[in-house]
A = this chain, B = another copy of it.
């Protein structure tokens, strides 16, 4: 990182919730920052201190937040944009580069770094066992930024080719029927006896993990704080764990 007089932007992953899952690289960036920006619940995970300004913003204003961060860095501030999990997985890194592309040419010379974090699906997988131990896909089930038909195409492609799958943003109040439809497609493509795990609020006090078959799964098992992991045909239980073998036919 540059000398303190030079501005920079770091897009940092805070992991799924437990402070023990934050890397020391991210801790160091936070210790050097003058400003932290992010969605309200993520900024509230940062301890206030002298010399640090916390900028909370609402959900769905990612581009404004990113532009604000870049603008502050251009003025010499040391800015950390905080994401839950990993910033590169359905989080703030892409939004920041979209803002960079749309913004003044001079922003492209800024010192910008992405610092990885433990993304929700891998924290969930670790608690479940090893359900993503073979080839897998990560799919954002929200249709805010893409058509639902494309999500259906991807579910069929992934299920048909035997990928395990992790779903982010599986369900929200504004689209209650879509996750039911996703479960229908998965039953068709993967078979009703395939295992599906619902991992809510992993690594926090509210953590709750449930594994059932696709035939037993109901839409209300997921909410927006849940990561859903679907195995492939070989995924199975051993003791209290669920894992996907490394090999396939």
Taking Cβ atoms with an 8 Å cutoff, the residues of A that contact B are: 15, 18-25, 28, 62, 86-90, 93-98, 100-101, 108-109, 112-119, 122-123, 125-127, 129-140, 145-147, 150, 153-154, 156-158, 160-163, 236, 238-241, 243-249
Contacts and interface: CB of A to CB of B under 8 A. Distances in A.
Given A21-B23, A23-B20, A243-B93, A116 B125 contact: yes
Nearest to A238: B101
Contacts of A109: 239
Q: Which 10 A-B pairs have the closest CB atoms?
A: A94-B133, A108-B239, A157-B161, A93-B130, A97-B243, A145-B247, A114-B126, A20-B25, A146-B248, A94-B130
A157 B119 CA distance: 24
Nearest to A103: B238
A88 B161 contact: no
Nearest to A165: B137
Contacts of A249: 146-147, 150
Contacts of A133: 88-90, 93-94, 97
A126 B145 CA distance: 22
B21 A15 contact: no
Q: How many copies does the complex hold?
A: 2
A172 to B, nearest CB: 16
Contact of A98 (B112, B118, B150, B246): B246
B21 A244 contact: no
A154 B161 contact: yes
11 contacts: A20-B23, A62-B246, A88-B130, A88-B131, A94-B246, A95-B246, A112-B241, A137-B158, A147-B249, A153-B161, A158-B158
A126 B88 contact: yes
Contact of A135 (B86, B123, B140, B160): B140
A18 B93 CA distance: 21
A97 B157 contact: no
Nearest to A85: B122
